């Protein structure tokens, strides 16, 4: 039986035992979140899920207002995956003193890719993740690789600020045709849904060409992308989001399909080029 709590007081009073895992979400849960919950369930005795659409990480022209809020369906998934506690606080409970004046700066790693396209996004993410770590007090926290730069920044924050938690990345879950699961996929109409698969197809084409080097990978990905999406960025990096080098690397993409902005990424191995 999953216990639903809404306030930090209720959360502090909720029973917990043994190793504690947290899965942080903004709700609108899908099978990608379920995969995180399953990993958490396998690992820890107490599993806490947070559901909070964090206003701090949305820009003024972004989708905070229309972001899907589906608490009943989310709770059903949490029950199914045997989460112990769902913490679904209000903004007033997370930010009782209003907009926080002190925030976590993501540093240089937060300036490229998503950080360049969405000013303030990673400051908002890291600030709320830091707060939620304090409120939930987990031993281990699970985050999806779908938000690869976010995961890298959370790992760096935990390291740089000596936070006492283990961070585990969980591979992206995809539709059978390759589309990465995302809460924002539900914004897509049928025609946009068909076009959205271009992102993962581009990454796969890039991965196939990566043996020839990062430039060739990017060229192949760009070619496979076609014209049905509006590209924001397509990038080749090393696994830590630095400049690509021979060996393990990452291809990352962000694009708009209609009015919906989607991101995806894939592990690749770069040849000499």
If the CB atoms of residues 29 and 225 are measured against ligand PAF, the closer one turns out to be 29
Annotated catalytic residue within 30, 33, 97, 134? 33
Q: Backbone dihedral region of 172: left (phi > 0), alpha (psi from -120 to 50 degrees) or beta?
A: beta
Ramachandran quadrant class, 244 (left: phi over 0; alpha: psi -120 to 50; beta: rest): beta
Q: Map the footprint of ligand PAF across residues 149-188, applying CB under 6 A.
A: 150
- Nearest-approach distance from CB 77 to ligand PAF, in angstroms: 14
Minimum CB distance to ligand PAF, residue 150 (Å)? 6
Query: Within 22-81, which residues bind ligand PAF (CB under 6 A)?
Result: 24-26, 54, 57
Does residue 97 carry a catalytic annotation?
Answer: no
Question: Stretches 1-9, 20-28, 210-218, 224-232: which one binds ligand PAF (CB under 6 A)?
Answer: 20-28
Q: Out of 147, 192, 216, 264, point to the residue binding ligand PAF (CB under 6 A).
A: 147
Positions in 102-131 near ligand PAF (CB under 6 A): 125, 128-129
CA angle 216, 217, 219 (to 5 degrees): 60
Site string for ligand PAF, 192-231 (x = CB under 6 A): ----------------------------------------
Q: Show the 3-state SS of 185-252.
A: HHHCCHHHHHHHHHHHHHHHHHHHHHHHCHHHHHHHHHHHHCCCCEEEEEEEECCCCCCCCCEEEEEE
Number of residues that this document lists for the chain: 273
Q: Catalytic residues, which ones?
A: 33
């Amino acid at each position: 039986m999953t216990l639903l709590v809404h306030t930090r007081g209720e959360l502090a009073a909720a029973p917990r035992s043994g190793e504690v895992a947290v899965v942080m979400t903004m709700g609108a849960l899908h099978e990608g979140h379920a995969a995180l919950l399953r990993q958490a369930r396998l690992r820890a005795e107490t599993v806490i899920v947070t559901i909070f659409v964090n206003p701090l990480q949305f820009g003024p022209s972004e989708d905070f207002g229309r972001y899907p809020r589906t608490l009943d369906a989310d709770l059903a998934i949490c029950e199914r995956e045997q989460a112990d506690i769902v913490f679904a606080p209000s903004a007033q409970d997370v930010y009782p003193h209003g907009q926080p004046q002190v925030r976590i700066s993501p540093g240089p790693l937060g300036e490229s890719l998503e950080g360049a396209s969405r000013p303030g996004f990673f400051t908002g993410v890291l600030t709320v993740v830091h707060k939620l770590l304090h409120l939930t007090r987990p031993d281990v926290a699970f985050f999806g690789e779908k938000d690869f730069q976010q995961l890298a920044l959370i790992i760096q924050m935990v390291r740089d600020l000596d936070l006492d938690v283990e961070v585990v990345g969980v591979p992206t879950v995809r539709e059978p045709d390759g589309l990465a699961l995302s809460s924002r996929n539900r914004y897509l109409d049928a025609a946009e849904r068909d076009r959205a698969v271009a992102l993962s197809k581009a990454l796969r084409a890039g991965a196939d060409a990566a043996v020839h080097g990062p430039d060739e990978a990017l060229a192949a990905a760009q070619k496979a992308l076609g014209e049905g999406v509006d590209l924001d960025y397509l990038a080749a990096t090393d696994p830590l989001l630095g400049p690509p080098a021979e060996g393990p690397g990452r291809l990352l993409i962000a694009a708009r399909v209609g009015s919906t902005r989607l991101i995806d990424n894939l592990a690749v191995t770069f040849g000499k080029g």
